[in-house]
Structure 1
């Protein structure tokens, strides 16, 4: 009898999302208050465990210490790229052929050889568009360690080049970093000055909207996708609101379990199934990879919620201390239904 009561109590104190067990119900309430579990977390398609990132989910399925039951099923029916569970081995084979996106970087580079540095970028549109940006840096300063933008590329959602040019920095270049950039002095001698590049990109991204007026859904400003965009925009001396930026280096589901950033090279290999940044690097390849990662994250089918963020006013009192007694009477499932995400999921775009 005592054993049954203890088991029932442990089940009552078990998180319905991550399955952590707590000795006391108040400990579970505190966990729910700070965990921000939600429908937007990566989810195991076998046991329905919520994970904080796809790396956590990958470890759960095929890591050093996986959940054995889930690993056995995943080995037969799981997609190693998107981590989905299919109906069977044949369905998995067909799915993975579509899920693994082949590298078109080399093909795209030859198909788009002409540098589009004379584009006016002045065609305003009513709806926000999504574009990806990437830069390649040369070195400045006495030891060549200061990053200076030497080339920039912008593509649209269909991976077509919108803007692609060499950039002439404002200070002397002391290291062309030829092994990775392929740059030679003559390439940048008559390149577009940084100030001109900055203005073109700034005007294009804002798309006719004043900076102070830009809103995520009610204006014409474009959504900007990239990897490590803080650094790229800083080197370009371009300012842009964080609400319009989708950075694959800072997106929680794509980060390491330690909450550190993964490299774009790793993300492309693990989630898209091909390699980039081998030998001389092209910013077009980086643009394509980040756009594909963005579209993969955006296309996830999550349950719709009227107010999906913990920061939404309607959710701010869900786990308020004054509700402690009420929360302790709830089941783990009822508490999970109250919980909301602490990051903006790209499926909301």
Structure 2
């Protein structure tokens, strides 16, 4: 291991630990002669190591001087191994979804031939502007309360501005005892309730923030019901109710709209209210011009009908006289 200081890992070098499937990232010297810092990924978890040693199943294994001086260490001397490994990686999703004896094949949409398979995941803010904009997007996560967790209660609420920056993100302590955290979907865990705020405090804060603002969301009636709040219909923009985003009489899931319109994947595992609120906001932004124009046209038509009714009432009153 004395070769570590003689030749440090250069930027861009990849260190293989093929036997356990891990991979060492480029290391850097922190100023000391033996201050080499490296990380290794074992079973999806990054672990810091020193002097190019790896801890696997509780046992420390040195990679040897050969690896320490900058040469890749590969326990598989077959020259075709790297080529074979790259081929195996090209269709991991198909391998996972292949049918086995006695099981029905998955639908075609789950295969990597689908266009959604190559979509990036996650959404980022569009700018650094964290101001309180005229349009806000909201998303809430619920937990199960009551007998057999049949009722839903607010456990987290998030508000983002037009640029996707978080204005408010708070865990909420429900009024009733939590029967089911629904972690698989909600992402809520018992430890989140330690610093959670009381429901009434969160409700008041959200009410103050959204007052006088246009509120965007997906299936907004669920979020408002969980908050025990109402919002003027003229100031709500629900991506599940907007006609061009529906499929006939049926509403569409937010993740499907995000994949089609924003070309990103969301809600892959646990739902993130920040990501969902951003998705709703960005979908609204894409349709904002046409959406707002259609709403103005609706208001004009209603006003015309009102005017006609008023004129008719006046004429009827004049005839009676």
Q: Which bracket does the TM-score occupy, shorter chain normalised?
A: 0.5 to 0.7
- Residues 192-229 of structure 1, C-alpha deviations (whole Å, 9 max, x = no match): 111111100111111xxxxxxxxxxxxxx100000011
How far apart are 1:152 and its partner, in Å? Answer: 0.8
1:209 aligned partner: none
User: Which residues in structure 2 correspond to 1:188-199 (within 5 Å)?
Assistant: 188-199=193-204
How far apart are 1:264 and its partner, in Å? Answer: 0.7
CA spacing shift, 1:129–1:236, aligned 2, 3 Å:
same
CA spacing shift, 1:158–1:298, aligned 2, 3 Å:
same
Q: 1:256 aligns with which of 247, 250, 270?
A: 247
Q: Does the 8 A contact of 2:171 with 2:196 survive in 1?
A: yes
CA spacing shift, 1:244–1:317, aligned 2, 3 Å:
closer
CA–CA separation in structure 1 for the residues paired with 2:296 and 2:181: 51
Unaligned runs of 5+ in 1: 1-79, 82-99, 113-120, 207-220, 319-349
Q: 1:241 aligns with which of 232, 238, 243?
A: 232
CA–CA separation in structure 2 for the residues paired with 1:199 and 1:302: 29
2:209 aligned partner: 204
CA–CA separation in structure 2 for the residues paired with 1:169 and 1:155: 22
1:87 aligned partner: none
2:278 aligned partner: 288
Q: Does the 8 A contact of 1:228 with 1:249 survive in 2?
A: yes
Q: Which has the higher strand share?
A: 2
Q: Give the greater-gyration-radius structure (CA).
A: 2
1:168 aligned partner: 173
CA–CA separation in structure 1 for the residues paired with 2:217 and 2:241: 10
Q: 1:130 aligns with which of 135, 138, 144?
A: 135
Unaligned runs of 5+ in 2: 1-114, 309-321
Could you say what secondary structure the match of 2:148 adopts? coil
Using structure 2 for the length normalisation, give the TM-score. 0.53
1:229 aligned partner: 220
Q: Does the 8 A contact of 1:223 with 1:245 survive in 2?
A: yes
User: Which residues in structure 2 correspond to 1:34-49 (within 5 Å)?
Assistant: none
How far apart are 1:186 and its partner, in Å? Answer: 2.0
CA–CA separation in structure 1 for the residues paired with 2:246 and 2:165: 27
Could you say what secondary structure the match of 1:166 adopts? strand
CA spacing shift, 1:140–1:317, aligned 2, 3 Å:
same
CA spacing shift, 1:254–1:171, aligned 2, 3 Å:
same
How far apart are 1:313 and its partner, in Å? Answer: 3.4
Equivalences, count: 190
How far apart are 1:167 and its partner, in Å? Answer: 0.6
Q: 1:299 aligns with which of 286, 289, 293?
A: 289
Could you say what secondary structure the match of 1:138 adopts? strand
Q: Does the 8 A contact of 2:137 with 2:215 survive in 1?
A: yes
Q: 1:273 aligns with which of 263, 269, 289?
A: 263
Q: Does the 8 A contact of 2:159 with 2:168 survive in 1?
A: yes
1:186 aligned partner: 191
CA–CA separation in structure 2 for the residues paired with 1:164 and 1:305: 30
Q: Which has the higher contact order (CA 8 A, sep 6+)?
A: 1
CA–CA separation in structure 2 for the residues paired with 1:185 and 1:313: 52
Q: Does the 8 A contact of 2:122 with 2:264 survive in 1?
A: no
CA–CA separation in structure 1 for the residues paired with 2:268 and 2:154: 20
How far apart are 1:243 and its partner, in Å? Answer: 1.0
User: Which residues in structure 2 correspond to 1:9-158 (within 5 Å)?
Assistant: 103-105=121-123, 129-158=134-163
CA spacing shift, 1:277–1:312, aligned 2, 3 Å:
same
CA–CA separation in structure 2 for the residues paired with 1:246 and 1:306: 13
How far apart are 1:232 and its partner, in Å? Answer: 0.6
Q: Does the 8 A contact of 1:139 with 1:176 survive in 2?
A: yes
CA spacing shift, 1:163–1:305, aligned 2, 3 Å:
closer
